[in-house]
Amino acid sequence: STETAKLNDGSEIPYVALGCWKSSPEDAYNAVLTAIKAGYKHIDTAHIYQNEEGVGKAIRNCGVPREELFVTTKLWNTNHRDPLAALNDSLKRLGLDYVDLFLVHWPVPFKKPASDAEEQFFVKRKGDPTKFDNDYDWDFVKTWELVQKLPTSKCKSVGVSNMSVTNLKTLLNAPSTTKVPACNQVEMHPYLPQHALLKFCQEKGIQVEAYSPLGSTGSPLLKDETIVELSKELGISPATLVISWAVNRKVVVLPKSVTPSRIESNLSIVQLPDDVMEKISLIYKTHPQRILCRDWGVPVFNDEIEA
Ligand code: A2P
């Protein structure tokens, strides 16, 4: 599906995106080319994924005009004090004049390493590339004050990621906040449906985007008993069921794959009956699970998985 949602700034965002987290630069390059050829219009990356070069090269080489595509990248935690410099660096790595969406990756400022070499050392350290010092003299409200003023010639829309209702309220209530984030990209799947967060964001005009929609590495949702059973009943694949559940909730969804056949099939969205939507939305009651939960040194996921 190339159906789009309308953001609060008037831009259109395609509901299905290719997710690029955990893809190597080479894999990301090939995956983006495959995806665009299959009809994807939306590609999601980030500085910390270390594949902006591959993603950008594929976007430049794919043959589809840039203005027909929607490209997202994200501000890494070490760059909260200078979002414009970080955006410029991302654009340089991507080889693009602008991104469609620039997200504050985490509401967690880190200290900027003293040198590029030191930053590279941390970023390249596989396993835990996030072991930086917290920058306790800065906060995401100040970051947003800068991000909301970024030139729209370089990023058409701006938003946040990994924001709980508590943190969103802090952000929206701050006197310095003049722009409501266009999007909030969060972990979301049937084990973590985030019903309260989705409702809050929809009331405030913030488009929710779901990362790890299949449950990330190992795609545990695709083996879930209820998902498997329902997908058999409907005669569709578990992946199509889970991805369609997101879009049926008006959530932008970012399935990650580097496998051509999966990339192609993940674009198909089906309309799901109300009772099927209901059943999937209740799975978390017996199986609540947040997959990406780290100690960030500051409150991030301050809201419980709602019971
Ligand atoms: P791969 O990239 O090797 O194809 P998520 O989107 O939740 O992050 O899940 C990504 C994981 O799910 C990746 O390991 C990816 O594997 C796998 N995956 C993506 N699409 C499908 C699909 N349609 N069927 C099975 N596995 C899939």
Instruction: State percent of the chain over pLDDT 90.
Output: 87
Q: From CA 213, how far away is CA 291, in angstroms rounded? A: 11
Distance (angstroms) between ligand 1 centre and the Cα of 34 equals 15
Pick the catalytic residue: 29, 40, 49, 191?
Answer: 49
Across 100-104, average pLDDT: 98
Predicted confidence (pLDDT) at residue 278 exceeds the cutoff of 70: yes
**Exposure class string for 10-41: b at 16+ Cβ within 10 A, else e:** ebebbbbbbbbbebeeebbbbbbbbbbebebb
For position 115, what pLDDT does the model report? 80
Q: Please name the fold of domain 4-285.
A: TIM Barrel (3.20.20)
Q: What is the DSSP string of 82-105?
A: -HHHHHHHHHHHHT-S-EEEEEE-
Q: From CA 303, how far away is CA 122, in angstroms rounded? A: 29
- Domain locations in the chain? 4-285
For position 116, what pLDDT does the model report? 76
Q: From CA 86, how far away is CA 170, in angstroms rounded? A: 24
In terms of Cβ atoms closer than 10 Å to its own Cβ (0-12, 13-18, 19+), residue 271 is exposed
The helix/strand/coil state of 140 is: helix
Please answer whether residues 67 and 122 qualify as being in contact, where contact means their C-beta atoms are separated by less than 8 angstroms.
no
Residue among 113, 176, 102, 165 at smallest CA distance from 139: 176
For position 306, what pLDDT does the model report? 47
Please answer whether residues 110 and 136 qualify as being in contact, where contact means their C-beta atoms are separated by less than 8 angstroms.
no
Distance (angstroms) between ligand 1 centre and the Cα of 52 equals 20
The pTM for the full model equals 0.96
Across 81-96, average pLDDT: 98
Mean pLDDT, rounded, of the chain:
94
Question: Which among 185, 259, 263, 269 is the best mutation to test ligand 1's pocket, defined by most ligand atoms within 8 Å of the CB?
Answer: 259
For position 100, what pLDDT does the model report? 98
Active site residue 49: yes
The helix/strand/coil state of 253 is: strand
Distance (angstroms) between ligand 1 centre and the Cα of 117 equals 33
Question: Which helix (H) or strand (E) is 71 found in, with range?
Answer: strand 70-75
- Max alpha carbon distance in the chain (Å)? 57
Rounded to two decimals, the ipTM of the complex is: 0.99
pLDDT tens digits for range 191-230: 999 999 999 999 999 999 999 999 999 999 999 999 999 9
Contact residues of ligand 1, CB 6 A cut-off: 19, 212-217, 219, 222, 239, 255-259, 262, 265-266
pLDDT tens digits for range 10-43: 999 999 999 999 899 999 999 999 999 999 999 9
Q: From CA 123, how far away is CA 228, in angstroms rounded? A: 38
Please answer whether residues 301 and 164 qualify as being in contact, where contact means their C-beta atoms are separated by less than 8 angstroms.
yes
Token pair 């993940």 in the structure block, residue: 266
Structure tokens at 5: 């949602």
Cα–Cα distances in angstroms (integers) from residue 192 to residues 223, 267, 303, 304, in the given order: 16, 22, 12, 10
For position 19, what pLDDT does the model report? 96
Q: From CA 75, how far away is CA 160, in angstroms rounded? A: 9
Q: From CA 253, how far away is CA 175, in angstroms rounded? A: 32
Distance (angstroms) between ligand 1 centre and the Cα of 304 equals 27
295 band by pLDDT with thresholds 50, 70 and 90: confident
List Cβ neighbours of 155 (8 Å cut-off, separation of 6 or more): 87, 98, 99, 100, 101, 102
Q: From CA 252, how far away is CA 265, in angstroms rounded? A: 16
